[in-house]
Structures are given as structure tokens and as C-alpha cells.
Amino acid sequence: MLKLQGALTAMITPMKSDGSVDYEGFRTTVKFQLEQGIDGLVPLGTTAETPTLDETPGQEEDKIISIIMEEVKAFEKSTGKHIPVILGAGSNNTKDAVLYCERAKRVGADAALVVTPYYNKPSQEGIYRHFEMVSKVGVPIVVYNIAGRTGVNIATETLVRIASLPNIVGVKEASGNINQMMDVILSIKEKNPDFAVLSGDDALTLPLMCMGGDGVVSVVSNLIPKQIVELTHKALNGEFAEARKIHYRLLPFFKAAFVDGNPSSIKYAMKLKGLPSGSCRLPLVEVCDSAKKVIEKAIKDCNI
């Protein structure tokens, strides 16, 4: 079974000034992540602005997939180190989610990240059946629980049922509820140690790992992958005092990276440091002036 641990980056999609995808900029960001020692990459998620990308065959989404798979394979060939690619595959239409998971399987992704169906606000039974359908595709599935964006929380009892399905390998936990996260670890991971419990919130990475979590699908690692790798690896090795030092040193930036939304805030931070990022597509816009000051101060204070 696929075992996910450490720091995995929720990749942004760099844009050009005219709003088109900056493909070479994306290639640069992938290479940057690999060179900095990242443990895994997650393209076409929320941070990638995927709802605004063209999914027509051969267009934006397919080009992004092609670039990341090409770069990861080349890196693996030269280093012998495997870097999991977890391809975003979420939809509030179960039929479409199945198609996205089939695409993930077809292109050779290690797993698919499937978010709770949003807007529809399905019942817990509806959520279970949604994941039951995608689990049949045959690609490993990471469940993404983020009630703040989807409007509905996956109850732990439901996640226990989902985790018993074939091909369900972990959860990206972004409920913001540390008690729920502990319940998930106790109810699922204690019985199945290979089931990955990953934070979906950078500020909660260390608290979750102290309770037995495996790592993070990180937004801030778009800019500081090496530091997030160090933090998570310290925690995995039980070096919690050292991990705590890193956590508190970076905490202002964890907060600043979401001060005016995601990925608007992290894109501005990357721009400041000379990494490809560009603007966001509507309905997202550039961060406001007050947010820029917060981000600039956090970068300075955290010595990023």
C-alpha cells in the first residue's frame, strides 16, 4: 500500500500577465520543489485554482499533468528517489470525480486527491457512496475533508466506513478540529498504521503530528519546501523540541500565507521571492495592500 509521509506541496498554477498559464514557470516550480527535497507533489488541487483551468483534453490541465509527470520521472531516474504525485480529482459530480480518478490512474499518478462533494451538501450516506464509487477506479485515493470550503464535514464514523473501502490510503484533514483529527487517528490509524493522516492546514501540522499524524499537504511549502520538510521529518523522528522551534519560527508566515485568501496570498509571497506565480484568475484577485504588508513583514520576521 502507498505510504504518504512528510511534506507534500499543494502546487500553485503560475499565470502570465495576460492570465494564461505559465507552463515554463510551472516547470520551474516543480524543479524547485524536487531540488529542495519535497516528499510529494499535489497538482490540480484547490491551491492550483483548478476550477478555473481548462480541462479539455490536451489543454491546460493535461499540459500541467504532462509537465509534472515528466519532471518527476526525470528526477527519479537521476536520483533513485521516488516522489509521489497525488493528482487532484475532486468534483461535486460523482461521475466527473470518477473520470478524474481514471485520468490519475491513466497518467501514472500515485494517488488521487478527492474532496468532499461541495455545494450539494450531501448526507453522510451520500458522502460514503461518493467515495465508494471513486474507490472502484483502482487508483489509491486520499480523502480531502475541508468543511470550510465544501459546506459539509465528513464525520469520523463516516470516514471509518470510507477507510474500509479498497484503495483508500489516507485523509487530508482540514476540518480545523484537532479533536476530530485525534478521533480519526484513534479510530482508523491505530488499526491501520499505513493509513495516512495529513494536515491540510500548515499551522496545525505539528499539533497533528504530535498526536500521531503523518505530515502535511502544505501551501507554504510552495515557497519554503526545505523548511517544511525539515519540520515534518523532525516530528516523524520524534524530535519534537526541534520541530517546535521550526514551527514557532515559521508561525507568522503560516498565518500570513492565508491572510487574504489562498492562493492569492502565497502567490504574492512567491512573487516577492522571485518564484514564478503571477496573478490569480477571477473570482480570485491579487491580495489587498494591507495584506501585502502582513505578508512582507512575515517574510522578514521569519527570515524567509
Active site residues: 144, 172
E strand or H helix at 170 = strand 168-173
Other C-beta atoms closer than 10 Å to the C-beta of 164 total 12
Q: Tell me the Cα Rg of the chain.
A: 18
H helices of the chain, where? 23-35, 60-79, 94-107, 124-135, 147-150, 156-163, 178-184, 205-210, 225-236, 240-256, 264-272, 289-301
Beta bridge partners of 215: 6, 198
Packing angle, helices 60-79 and 94-107, rounded to 10:
40
First to last CA, the chain: 36
Residue 93, classed as helix, strand or coil, is coil
CB distance 238 to 230 below 8 Å: no
In terms of Cβ atoms closer than 10 Å to its own Cβ (0-12, 13-18, 19+), residue 2 is middle
